[in-house]
Structure 1
Amino acid sequence: MFKAFRILILLGILVTVAGTTLIGRWQAQSWKRPQVVTLYPINASGDAVTDLYLERLDAAAFAGLAPYFQQEAARYGVSLSEPMRIVLGGRVRVVPPAPPRDAGPLSAISWSLRMRWWAWRSTPPSSPVPDVKLFLMYHPPDFAGALPHSIGLEKGRLGLVHLFAMKSQQAQNEVVIAHEALHTFGASDKYDRATLAPVFPEGYAAPRQEPRYPQTAAELMAGRVPVREGELRVPAGLSETLVGPATAAEIGWVK
C-alpha cells in the first residue's frame, strides 16, 4: 500500500514537471511579450585579471543583443518591438557543476538536474524576473587552448556560456551569447560537431547563393562563415550573422 502511494506521488511529480515544461515552451515560443534574458557573470578560474574585467563590466558590453534579436525577429513578422530584454544581473561567486566528460544520456540528465538545482540556489535576485538565465563563464585573455564548450538548455531555460574577459572580444562574445540564448528557446545546432562546418543548406546564411562561396555571413546556430570548401572563419560580431528559416521555425518566429 505504501509502495503504491509512493509511486503515485512520483507520477504526480513527473506529470507536474512535464506540464510545467510544456507550458514554459509554449510561453517561450508564443512571443506575446518580451522574454527576459538575464546574464550572470562568473570568474571561471578566479584570476585577478578576469576579476578586474568583471568589476568594470557593464550593460554596454551587451548592447548589440536586444537590437539584433529585434531586427531578426522582424524579418519573420514578429511584431514585438523588444522580443528579448537583455538584463545584466549580479555576479555569481560560486562556480557551477562541471558538465560530464561522459557523453552518455544518463550523465547528461544528471548534470542538467544538478545544474538547475545549482542555478536555483546560487542565482542572485534580479528584476525583472528572468525567463532565461545565462551564466557567463569568463576566462583570462591568456587562456591556453580552446574555451570549454558552451551549453544552452531548453529544459530549465538556462545556459553556461564560456567567454574571454577582453574588451576586444566583446563583439564575438555577443555572438556566443546569442547562440546559447536561442538554444533555450528550442533552436538546434546547424553545424557538424566533428568538423564545426555548417550543415548545408540550413547552416548557411545564403544557401541559394551562386557561386556558393565565399559566404559573407554565418547562420547564428552554425556559428561559422564558410569562406570556401573546407575553410571557415569566426564571425567578427552579430552584424556578420543572421537567424535562418530553420532556426526561426524552431523558436516560433515562423508559424
Structure 2
Amino acid sequence: MFRKFRILLLLFVLVTVGLGAWRANARLTAWQHTIPVALYPVAADDSPVTAAFLRRLDADAFAGLARWVQAESERHGRPVLQPIALALAPALSGRPPLPPERPGVLDAVAWSLQLRWWASRHDAIAGPRPQVRLFLLFHDPARTPSLPHSTGLSKGGIGLIHVFASPGQQAQNLVVVAHELLHVFGATDKYDPATLQPLFPAGYAEPERGLPQRRAEIMGGRIPVDAQRAEIPDSLEETLIGPQTAREIGLLR
C-alpha cells in the first residue's frame, strides 16, 4: 500500500512539474527574447588546483559560448539580438546530488526532483531570474583525467556539467557546456553511446562532404575522421548546430 501511495505521489508531482516544464521549454525554443542563463561553478573535489582555478574564474571565460549561440542562431535564420545572456554566480560550497549509476524509472524521477529542489536552494544570483541554470562541476584533471557523464534536463531547465579546472582546457569545456545547454533546449544526442561515434547523417556537421569531416555537429559530439574514429573538437569554432538539432530546439520550423 505504501509503495502504491509513493508511486501515485511521485506521478502527481511529476505531472505538475512536467506541465510547468513544458511551458518553460516553449519559451526557451521560441527564439524571440533573450534567455537568462546562470552558471554556477562548483568544486567537484578538494584539490588546491580546483580551488585556485575557481578563484580566478570570471565571466569572460564563457563569453565564447554566447557568441557561438548568436552566430548559430543567425546562420539558421533566427537573428535574435542576444539569444542568451550569461551570468556567472559565485562558486558554490555545496555539491548537487549526482544521478544514480543504474537508475530505475522511479529512481530517475526521484533524483530529478531532488536535483530541482537542491537547485532552488542554491539559486542566489544577481540580475534577472534565470530560465536556465547550469551547475558546472570542476575537476582537477590530474585527479580525474576522464570526466563523468554530464546531464542536461529539458524538463526543468537545469544542467549538471562536468568540466576540467584547467585554463588550457577551457575551450573544450565550452564545447561540453554548449552540448548540455542544447539538451536543456530539447536537443537529443546524435552519437552511438557504445562507440561515441557520431551517427550519420544527423550527427555529421556536413554529411554531404563525406569523411573526414572538418567540424563536429554539436550533439554528435565529435569530428568523424573515418568509420571507426572521431576526434574531440578543440573549441566551439570546430562545431555547428546541424539541421535536425536546429529543428529540435526551434531554430528551424
Shorter-chain TM-score range: over 0.9
Find the counterpart in structure 1 of residue 233 from structure 2: 235
Q: Deviation at 1:11?
A: 8.9
Identity %: 48
Amino acid at match of 1:75: R
Aligned residue pairs total: 246
2: CA distance, partners of 1:92 / 1:184: 21
Give TM-score scaled by structure 2 length: 0.92
Q: Tell me how far apart the structure 1 counterparts of residues 50 and 12 of structure 2 sit (CA, whole Å).
A: 45
| Larger mean Cα displacement after TM superposition, 14-23 or 234-243 | 14-23
Q: Give the aligned partner of residue 222 of structure 1.
A: 220
Question: Is there any run of 5+ residues in structure 2 with no aligned partner, and where?
Answer: 1-8
Q: How far does the alpha carbon of each residue in 1:139-159 deviate from its partner, in whole angstroms, 9 at most, with x for none?
A: 013024411101000111000
Deviation of 1:18 after TM superposition, in Å, equals: 3.7
**CA distance, structure 2, for counterparts of residue 82 and residue 75 of structure 1:** 14
Once residues 142 and 100 of structure 1 are traced to their aligned partners in structure 2, the CA distance between those partners, rounded to angstroms, is 25
SS at 2:141's partner residue? coil
1:251 aligns with 2:249: yes
- Corresponding residue for residue 152 of structure 1: 152
For residues 10 and 165 of structure 2, what CA distance do their matches in structure 1 show?
44
Is it true that 1:132 corresponds to 2:132 in the alignment? Answer: yes
How big is each residue's C-alpha offset from its partner over 1:104-146, in whole Å with a ceiling of 9 and x where there is no partner?
2222111111100110112323312111000000001302441
Per-residue CA deviations over 1:56-113 (Å, capped at 9, x if unaligned) read 0011211101110011011111121211112111211101112101142222111111
Q: Is the 8 A contact 1:92 1:123 kept in 2?
A: no
Give 5+ residue unaligned stretches, structure 1. 1-8
Q: Map of 1:106-121 to 2, 5 A cutoff?
A: 106-121=106-121
What does 1:192-211 correspond to in 2, within 5 Å? 192-209=192-209
One-letter amino acid matched to 1:183: H
Deviations 1:210-234 (A, max 9, x none): xx11101000011100111211110
Q: Aligned AA for 2:123?
A: T
Please report the RMSD computed on the Cα atoms of aligned residues, expressed in angstroms: 1.8
Tell me the equivalent position of 1:6: none
